[in-house]
């Protein structure tokens, strides 16, 4: 009988813990939704592009690690192949540098929008340079993911790589 009482008590505590976990999940969801809505309102079209860039940065990092592992399997005993924490750290630092450049482009956009307002000149977009730089980095990440897939042994359509490179080059030429 005592065992049955203890089990009922444990069930009650378990239910309370589950309710607390659900409340925490709902609060976290609400906070993330609020932040997402705020950023979306402030950044406009740039927000989803930045989200896609962040996802592709993560995918590039993971695919790079897997490609290094695949090369290490293909070249056992050769220290030139395989995952290196130095290379991994350099990759993360490079991605943080991308974000810094995007931040500079966003600041430039902000200044141009503010100045254009005082000069009675309408800017058609709120994020011109920020969008161009973000899409350019996104295309670089896509090319890197394709290269990593090739290093892992996947057949990658050459036309896909060329198409992404052409898009990136068009952004370069438009920016000049």
Residue 75: DSSP 8-state? S
pLDDT > 70 in the chain, percent: 81
Do 146 and 83 belong to one domain? Answer: yes
- The count of structural domains within the chain is 2
The domain of 9 spans: 1-43
58-93, pLDDT tens digit by residue? 999 999 999 988 888 887 877 777 777 888 899 999
Do 106 and 120 sit in the same domain of this protein? yes
One domain for residues 91 and 113: yes
Regarding whether 157 and 93 lie in a shared domain, the answer is yes
- In angstroms, the CA 143 to CA 141 distance is 5
Q: Could you tell me if 17 and 67 lie in one domain? A: no
pLDDT tens track for 104-160: 998 998 888 888 777 777 776 666 888 889 999 999 999 999 999 998 999 989 898
Does 17 share its domain with 88? no
| Distance separating alpha carbons of residues 130 and 149, to the nearest angstrom | 29
Regarding whether 18 and 95 lie in a shared domain, the answer is no
> Do 50 and 19 sit in the same domain of this protein?
no
Are residues 54 and 33 part of one domain?
no
pTM exceeding the 0.75 threshold for the entire prediction:
no
2 and 17 fall within a common domain: yes
Q: How far apart are CA 133 and CA 114, in angstroms?
A: 20
Place of tokens 């750290």: 89
Q: Are residues 30 and 90 in the same domain?
A: no
Q: Are 51 and 39 in the same domain?
A: no
């Amino acid at each position: 009988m005592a065992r049955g009482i203890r089990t009922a008590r444990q069930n009650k505590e378990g239910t309370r813990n589950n309710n607390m976990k659900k409340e925490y999940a709902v609060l976290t969801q609400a906070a993330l939704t609020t932040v997402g809505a705020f950023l979306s309102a402030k950044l406009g079209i740039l927000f989803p592009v930045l989200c896609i860039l962040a996802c592709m940065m993560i995918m590039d990092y993971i695919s790079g690690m897997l490609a290094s592992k695949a090369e290490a399997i293909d070249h056992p005993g050769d220290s030139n192949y395989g995952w290196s924490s130095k290379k991994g750290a350099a990759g993360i630092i490079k991605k943080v540098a991308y974000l810094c450049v995007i931040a500079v482009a966003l600041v430039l956009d902000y200044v141009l929008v503010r100045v254009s307002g005082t000069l009675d000149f309408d800017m058609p977009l709120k994020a011109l340079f920020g969008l161009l730089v973000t899409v350019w980095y996104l295309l670089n990440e896509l090319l890197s993911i394709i290269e990593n897939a090739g290093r892992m042994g996947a057949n990658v359509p050459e036309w896909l790589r060329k198409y992404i490179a052409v898009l990136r080059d068009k952004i370069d030429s438009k920016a000049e």
